[in-house]
Each structure stands twice: as C-alpha cells, then as structure tokens.
Amino acid sequence: MESVQAIKQRFGIIGNDPGLNRAVEKAIQVSPTDISVLVTGESGVGKESIPKIIHQLSHRKHGKYIAVNCGAIPEGTIDSELFGHEKGAFTGATQTRSGYFEVADGGTIFLDEVGELPLTTQVRLLRILENGEFLKVGSSKVQKTNVRIVAATNMNMFEAIQKEKFREDLYYRLSTVEINLPALRKRKDDIHLLFRKFASDFALKYKMPTIRLTDDAVQILLNYRWSGNIRQLRNVAEQISVLEQNRTITAETLRHYLPDMGSNLPAVIKSSKSESDFSNEREILYKVLFDMKSDLNDLKKLTMELMQSGNGHEVQKKNQGLIEKIYGDDDDDAVESQLEVMPVDSSSQSEVEVVNTPDKYHFAEEIEEEETLSLHDKELELIKKSLERHNGKRKLAAAELGISERTLYRKIKQFDL
C-alpha cells in the first residue's frame, strides 16, 4: 500500500495538515473495498480528489470512472442522465439511451453535490445501493449494474433530512464511510504553500516571472477567512499573476484582491428559529384574524336583524360592547370605524337617525318603544329558530344566518344547544 505522502504527490494534493492527511489515509484504506463513501466539506476544498484516489487504488481501476455534478443537471432530465431512457419515453426521446449507471458498469460513479438530487431520483438511487437494480425511464424491464458509488456534498445533511429534502435511509447507505475535508482557514500552515504552488503554475502558464509576497502580505494571506477555500485562493493567485507589473506583492496590494478585507461589518448569524416555527406563527395569526372576521360578520348580521325588528338603541349599546370585546376596551377608533362601516338596510333608515357626538356614535331614540331584549338572548333566539327551520342542519342554518359553519358550531357549544 502506498504511503499518504506518495498518494498526495501522485494526485497533486498540496499540504500537510493533519485533517487533510487523515482524509487521504481513510481514502487509501477504503479503496480496496466496495463500500459506499460520502465526502463532505465546504465548497472549494477539493472533494473531487478523494473519489479519484479511491477509484485508482481499487480493483475497479480498469473500469470506467464517471463524475456527475448532480446540481448542474435539470430536475426533469436527471433520471434520464443517470438511468437512461427508452425511445418515446418523453418528448424528444427519439432513441434509446444508456444512462451513467449502465455505462459505468464495473467501474465507479462520483456523484458530486448529491444533496441536490430530487426526492424521486433519491428513491431510484437507494434501490441501486440496495440490490444494484434500476429501471430506465419509460421501461418496465429491471436491469442490473455493478457500480461503486462515491458521493460528495457541501450541505449539512442532517438539516436537509430534518427539512425532508434528503432521505435519511439514503444518507446512511451513502455514508458507510464518511471522509471530511477541512476548510482552508483551518489549514493555516498550508495556505502560503498552496499560494506559492499556484503562483509558480501561473508563471509557467503565462510565461511571466513568479510573484512573491512580502512578510506583511503573508500574514494577511494567513488571517483571511477564505470562504471560497482553495478555489478562491487559486483565483486570487491567478489574478495577481496576470495583473500586477511589480512581482513583489505588498500587503496593500494584496488587500485589493481580497473581498471585504478589513471590513468591520457585523457577522451574519444564522437564526435559530426554523422555517416551520415561522409557519406555525403565521397559521396562528391567520386563525386569529379569521376568527375576528367571523365575529364581525356575526355582529353585522345581528345588527341588521335587530334593526329590522325595531330595536335600534339597544343595537348600538350591545354592538359597542361586542366591538370593544373584539378590539379592546380602549380602542375608541376601532369602535368608531366599525360603526361607520356598519351596513344599514334602506327600509330601516327612515326609523333610525345616526348622531355624531364628541364621545361615541350612537343611535337616537326611536319613535316606537323598544323591546327590552339582550343581544345574547336575541342571538340565541335567532340560532334556535334557524336550526329548527332547517331540522338541525348546521350548514343550511349557517348560510341563512350569514356566518360560517365553524362559527355556528362554536355558538352551539357556547349556548349548549
């Protein structure tokens, strides 16, 4: 078995960080087996090197090695790409096509960004991992394949599982062995070494003198956060190699190539409150608003009934109490605005006069003597009559009263009818 250093040299892996060495060591150990491997780490840390090591050191090294970026294939065509399709399976399928799992039979498939797979494709992938079987799109014939799967992701898989974006059973089948590559900011001793390697490569590529960093520039390089990891470091080295005439790079020059260098902006902290928590709060708020709307509709309905029966003054008095119950005792504006928009039947307008006083809107005394009946009793009487008229059918009674069936059901429970 080759040593870790020999493998790193063979595959062009730069650095001597303990975390990096451990990842390479695990790749060497699992390569002779056929178990599935999941490579994890942030975007840009070089995850694509691990499946290459595993394939080249395995007994499948003479078979095909296919790397698939799952996040780059549209959801509508990914099943066809991975598993193939039959002629006429969908619009544009003019001939039968073999998928990657059929082509790579006896070899290795690297599924990069596996966390981006649609749930339906995850089910198909799980079947291959369990028994090596798959179906082409548009076919009912089961086919077998002998493929080793190495997957990689930069996602937090446990969060994806909790949000039901990734199947838990598939995760455990893929991650028989998990290999994690550390972020570049955790490999400080390797940062300058990698920069010098990139600078040398670009000097050779563009036929220019190699750039050199001053001591102050090296310190800035080591202390920068490198959110894009090795990919970002390589990009910065290439920019400086091409654009700078002076091949000695100072700290001031380097700062121009590092986004937000020296910024005092506050860090973005991920909220601990999940999307489901906000969803529950919205549902509660909607329920409160709908209940308030139902209460207001009840108020309007009862007002019309009482006004038509000639009990205007009592209507105003009871309405005000009910509105204050809904909006709160101190919300005078809400009470006034509600009374302003209260619908008034044209047949009863001649009997009722609305007077605006500095305190509250109220109804003037009517010509006829008002019957003394509370709003509670009147509401109870109307509900009873409606239920009797419709033989206890709540849906019809609710429609006649102008309220929702749920509100009527609540009133029936409230009045113990």
Number of C-beta neighbours around residue 33 at 10 A: 14
Q: Are 364 and 317 in contact (CB under 8 A)?
A: no
Contact partners, residue 86, CB within 8 Å, separation at least 6: 93, 96, 136, 137, 138, 139
CATH number of 374-417: 1.10.10.60
Question: Per-residue confidence of the chain (417 residues) as pLDDT tens digits?
Answer: 679 999 999 999 999 999 999 999 999 999 999 999 999 999 999 999 999 999 999 999 999 999 999 999 998 899 999 999 999 888 888 899 999 999 999 999 999 999 999 999 999 999 999 999 999 999 999 999 999 999 999 999 999 999 999 999 999 999 999 999 999 999 999 999 999 999 999 999 999 999 999 999 999 999 999 999 999 999 999 999 999 999 999 999 999 999 876 444 444 445 445 555 555 666 677 667 777 777 777 777 777 777 766 555 555 555 555 555 555 554 444 444 444 444 444 444 444 444 444 444 444 444 344 444 566 777 778 888 888 888 888 888 888 888 888 788 787 877 777
4-182 adopts what CATH topology? Rossmann fold (3.40.50)
* Ranges in the chain annotated CATH 3.40.50.300: 4-182
Tokens 């039979």 found at? 105
φ/ψ region of 100 (left if φ > 0, alpha if ψ in -120 to 50, else beta) reads: alpha
- Compute the radius of gyration of the chain from its Cα atoms: 37
Q: Are 58 and 80 in contact (CB under 8 A)?
A: no
Beta bridge partners of 97: 85
Beta bridge partners of 111: 68, 151
Distances (CA, A) of 347 to 159, 338, 351: 63, 21, 8
Q: Round to whole Å and give the CA distance between 335 and 320.
A: 7
Q: Which pLDDT score, from 0 to 100, does residue 379 have?
A: 78
Q: What's the predicted TM-score (pTM) here?
A: 0.62
Q: Are 14 and 194 in contact (CB under 8 A)?
A: yes
In this structure, what DSSP letter does residue 57 have?
T
User: Judging by beta carbons within 10 Å of its beta carbon (0-12, 13-18, 19+), is residue 213 exposed, middle or buried?
Assistant: buried
* Ranges in the chain annotated CATH 1.10.8.60: 185-255
CATH number of 185-255: 1.10.8.60
Report the number of secondary-structure helices (H) and strands (E) in the chain. 18, 13
Q: Round to whole Å and give the CA distance between 297 and 64.
A: 71
Beta bridge partners of 69: 112
Helix or strand or coil: residue 111? Answer: strand
Helix or strand or coil: residue 191? Answer: helix
> Which is it for strands 84-85 and 97-98: parallel, antiparallel or unpaired?
antiparallel
